[in-house]
Structure 1
Amino acid sequence: MHPSPSAEAELAGELDGARPDLSASYAAALPGARAAVLSRLWRALAHEPLPWIARREPTADGLALHLTDGRRLHGPPADPYATAAYVAEVRLDGRAYDRAAELLRALGVPHGDAFAAELDHSTASLALSRAGQPRDATEPATSWEWEQRVVDGHPYHPNCRSRPGFSVVEQLAYGPEHRPLVRLGLVAVDDCLVRGEWPVWLRDGKRALIPVHPWQSAHVLGVPAQDGPAAHPLMALRTLALPDGGPHVKTAVSARLTSSVRDISVYSVDTSATVSDFVESIAARTDGLLRVTRTLGAISAHSPDLAAVVRESPETYADPAQGERVVPVAALPVTGLPASPAWLAEFTRLALTVGLRLLDLGVALEAHGQNLLVVLSSTGAPLRLVYRDLADIRVSPARLARHGIKAPELAGRIVTDEETTLRRKLFGSLVAGALASTAGSAPVLRAALETAVRDLPNTPDLTPLREEPLPAKALTLMRLSPGLSGDRWALLPNPLSETCS
């Protein structure tokens, strides 16, 4: 039996009232959205270290998962790097399920009901995101326009479009894939923490003005806000690009989007200027292959719910006179790239050269497809990378010291010398994330990696990249472990390993 009422039905009802012109296209998009979310969930069931799965074994027509309670789950072969929606149904003891939420409820695992509700919402929101997408006649001219073409959200997370707490009207008004203009609010504060240079346009006399997202203003803050500028929402939803090549503004949205609550910690504001200056200096050691969007200013009213970060636009690092353009890596498939195996190998070589160079120096980037952008030439060749959002990198004082580099004056979670943590940060985001989702399958990823690694410098991190299982965040396990903090990890088959089929 379907849950009653489901998020699909609730959203359909809201849509009938708010945008009846989209109701038919929403209904038509639901089967595809169900398959997309179910495919992501099946990937997690097939590869994450879930404690209630006793063993996994291939079958003649797919994969069987044997549960600790004796039940059996059967589905198609599970490519951990596939991005296509290839799972139409999964069978639990012979009964077919075509909805991820219903399957999870049937499994009856701890904390499953709460996660099932998120999956239900993710499916409905994904169908809404796909409904009524305009036919694009012109090619985007800016990076923010390219990232607004990313309709399906996270390529591997079953919560790829989960937006609990957002009504239909709010999703249409704030979701980047719907291409709205969002008017920021401005909240004046007297007592605040400021790092960097807070812009003049965000001051009212001696008082600082904190840009706030309208959803945050309506649902969390409960304080009046004056009208601020209109801006274009990016993939992160709470980060927006000001018009005419202006800076990007990262706002606090205290809602659980995908997995995380998107507020801004006081710690990240406090360390923002130091981290920005430091990573910019490290990026200068890549011979121009990496640029970092500098943090111009960060502010917090001593609360994660009322804070903001202003940073450079990635457009700063492309030369339009030379026909260059900047594209977020997550949007590369939307551009028609990779155009060939040779292009993908060239891009993979560029990304690994930069990532491994910084890792060897002592900086592990969280270089997933949202944080990492590529500057393309007029012919589409990858020239250099741009990295944004420095809040979740890791810095190793020991590695820095080996290269005679003074460590920045930082403490807290960003600082670690633990080798596994450093490699997981980079390999999990870049290889199992950005590169894998650009390739779209294990065979294509393998071919790109095999070509790219031939020319890479032989740093101590290259052997683990070649030979050890690839780490990836165990996103479903993390959602099913609400009492545990920090990341949990899955170890995926390494496409470079001879034992990886």
Structure 2
Amino acid sequence: MRVCRTVAERDLAAELDRERPELLSPYLAALPGARAAVLARLWRGLVHEPLPWVASRTSGGDGVTLRLTDGRRLHGPRSDPWATGTTVGSLELDGAPYSHPALLMAALSVPGRARFAAELDGSTASLALSRTAPRPTKPPARPWEWEQRSPDGHPYHPGCRSRPGFSATEQLAYAPEHRPVVGLRLAPVTGAMLRGPWPSGLRDGDTALIPVHPWQAEHVLADRRLLPGPQAHPLLALRTLDLGRDLHVKTSVSAQLTSAVRDISAYSVENALITSDVAARVADRLGGRLHVTRMLAAAGAGTPDLAAVLRESPYAYAGTGEQVIPVAELPAYLAPHSPRARLERITGFARLALGVCLDLLDLGVALEAHGQNLLVVLDAEGRARRLVYRDLADIRISPARLVRNGFPAPPLSGRLLNDDSTALRRKALGCLITGALGPLAGNAPTLGTVLEAATRDLARTADLQALRTEPLPAKALTLMRLTGGDQWAQLPNPLFNAQG
């Protein structure tokens, strides 16, 4: 298979040849496009993030040249940090062309390159596999089907399809873009940490039956006794599934998907319902513009690899003639509209989303409102009416702001609490703009136009002033994979051009 150029590409191809031969040719055909898509995401990070081994960046008519601290030069096309759907055919490192992101990263003499190169290799191969999934041709028949339509994952992250530890067969069996039905397992746990009314259907006397993802069952909990569980449909987050009856379950998957290991800490189990109550009470001040999906119950065995959270479905918040869709899928939903109508609807959504997130931030809650966590209630004409937010595990709560606005101090401790304005704005605005508004706009000029129109009439808080006058915070996704931990970049604010 000479078309395969790396270890991950060859391994995945060999497995398909054995297990799913009908997918081998579509997978091989998808590889060049997947390489170019991941390389574009990597180039975005190299051009715009504060990488310590990039000495300087020079833009010219033929693109951008990075001078590295080891003296070499890396050259490529201009990079719009807010562009989506872009591809880069190749980059030149001291004149040598590199068209595969993993091979380029391996050639860079930088700390962490070997691990990250392996991630880029896996991301590229898995993206090609995701693109073999047949694209839906009809509108979703059930609300959660919106979450199974896009094959490409995070629009800016070079690890957009990084799923280390998942074989090709497992990706086909569990990943939402392949639209499988997943058979969960149940782990009997006596003396489990329970928060909220754990359902009778997930009990055996005094023993809690904790839902377990089948990947976790095979790779992490193989020595435990597990029972057959309910059938469920995987959502955008893969380890979160729709159980029907307006109920979603978030399971532990001890694998690094995109950037983070997706298990559930004892801290999250302990504080799930308290966090839900605090966020919902604050959201009530917004006059119905935001619904926070309630955490119904949580259970854990004391370790992050065996825990689950039950929460209500966001799709229950659709009224007559309305539908709820994840913001990550809003570009696809709006695609059939004319350019003018599409821009009008994007601006309307941005005005609603920025108003809600800034008002909530002023009250003391910073949402992580990216395209997975944030959903929008649309009327029959595709106009945004309300927002729905799910997954409170990584929000931030400011006790000082809550108290200032007449709320009691939250009965919480630990990482969810933060009074630092910079950290709160990074969480609320960085996630909303980088994870929702940027991908929806699709490029810097459109994003600037949208932000200018959407913020024009909002209340002039200090947080809005920062948004309108400072560079935009964004997670430094490439730097994070090389060094670990949260890292931030300051990206050019397209509002400056839109304001003239």
Shared fold by TM > 0.5? yes
Taking the TM superposition and a 5 Å limit, the aligned residue runs for 1:298-447 are: 298-319=298-319, 322-337=320-335, 339-447=341-449
Q: Is 1:110 matched with 2:111? A: yes
Given that 2:452 and 2:498 are in contact with CA atoms closer than 8 Å, whether structure 1 keeps it comes out as no
Q: SS in structure 2 opposite 1:461?
A: helix
Distance 2:92 2:51 in 1: 18
Gaps (5+ residues) in structure 1?
A: none
How far is 1:135 from its partner?
Answer: 4.5
Counterpart of 1:497 in structure 2 is 496
Q: Which amino acid aligns with 1:297?
A: A
Counterpart of 1:38 in structure 2 is 39
1:458 corresponds, among 457, 460, 474, to 460
Given that 2:445 and 2:498 are in contact with CA atoms closer than 8 Å, whether structure 1 keeps it comes out as no
Counterpart of 1:181 in structure 2 is 181
Counterpart of 1:52 in structure 2 is 53
How far is 1:444 from its partner?
Answer: 1.0
Counterpart of 1:255 in structure 2 is 255
Distance 1:198 1:385 in 2: 28
* Percent of residue pairs identical: 61
Counterpart of 2:91 in structure 1 is 90
Distance 2:58 2:105 in 1: 20
Q: Which runs of 4+ in 1 moved over 6 A?
A: 1-4
Given that 1:143 and 1:328 are in contact with CA atoms closer than 8 Å, whether structure 2 keeps it comes out as no
Distance 2:430 2:213 in 1: 30
Given that 1:143 and 1:314 are in contact with CA atoms closer than 8 Å, whether structure 2 keeps it comes out as no
For residues 187 and 254 of structure 1, do their structure 2 counterparts lie closer, same or farther at Cα, with a shift above 3 Å needed?
same
Counterpart of 1:224 in structure 2 is 225
Q: SS in structure 2 opposite 1:480?
A: helix
Distance 2:147 2:138 in 1: 15
Distance 1:39 1:66 in 2: 19
Q: SS in structure 2 opposite 1:410?
A: coil
Given that 1:2 and 1:102 are in contact with CA atoms closer than 8 Å, whether structure 2 keeps it comes out as no
Counterpart of 2:280 in structure 1 is 280
Counterpart of 2:166 in structure 1 is 166
Given that 1:160 and 1:258 are in contact with CA atoms closer than 8 Å, whether structure 2 keeps it comes out as yes
Deviation readout 1:79-101 (Å, 9 max, x if unpaired): 00111123111111111111100
For residues 459 and 79 of structure 1, do their structure 2 counterparts lie closer, same or farther at Cα, with a shift above 3 Å needed?
same
Distance 1:47 1:69 in 2: 19
How far is 1:108 from its partner?
Answer: 2.1
Deviation readout 1:318-356 (Å, 9 max, x if unpaired): 12xx21111000011222357521111101000001000
For residues 500 and 93 of structure 1, do their structure 2 counterparts lie closer, same or farther at Cα, with a shift above 3 Å needed?
farther
Given that 1:62 and 1:75 are in contact with CA atoms closer than 8 Å, whether structure 2 keeps it comes out as yes
Given that 2:239 and 2:253 are in contact with CA atoms closer than 8 Å, whether structure 1 keeps it comes out as yes
Q: SS in structure 2 opposite 1:308?
A: strand
Q: Is 1:193 matched with 2:209? A: no
Q: Which amino acid aligns with 1:328?
A: P
Distance 1:463 1:219 in 2: 48
Given that 2:448 and 2:497 are in contact with CA atoms closer than 8 Å, whether structure 1 keeps it comes out as no
How far is 1:500 from its partner?
Answer: 9.9
Given that 2:448 and 2:496 are in contact with CA atoms closer than 8 Å, whether structure 1 keeps it comes out as no
**TM-score for both structures, normalised by structure 1:** 0.96
Q: Which amino acid aligns with 1:50?
A: L
Q: SS in structure 2 opposite 1:185?
A: strand
Distance 1:285 1:459 in 2: 17
Q: Which amino acid aligns with 1:228?
A: G
Given that 1:29 and 1:130 are in contact with CA atoms closer than 8 Å, whether structure 2 keeps it comes out as yes
Given that 1:294 and 1:311 are in contact with CA atoms closer than 8 Å, whether structure 2 keeps it comes out as yes
Gaps (5+ residues) in structure 2?
A: none
Given that 1:142 and 1:326 are in contact with CA atoms closer than 8 Å, whether structure 2 keeps it comes out as no
Q: Which amino acid aligns with 1:294?
A: R
Given that 2:188 and 2:208 are in contact with CA atoms closer than 8 Å, whether structure 1 keeps it comes out as yes
Distance 1:153 1:188 in 2: 34
1:470 corresponds, among 469, 472, 476, to 472
For residues 420 and 139 of structure 1, do their structure 2 counterparts lie closer, same or farther at Cα, with a shift above 3 Å needed?
same
Q: SS in structure 1 opposite 2:58?
A: strand
How far is 1:138 from its partner?
Answer: 2.1
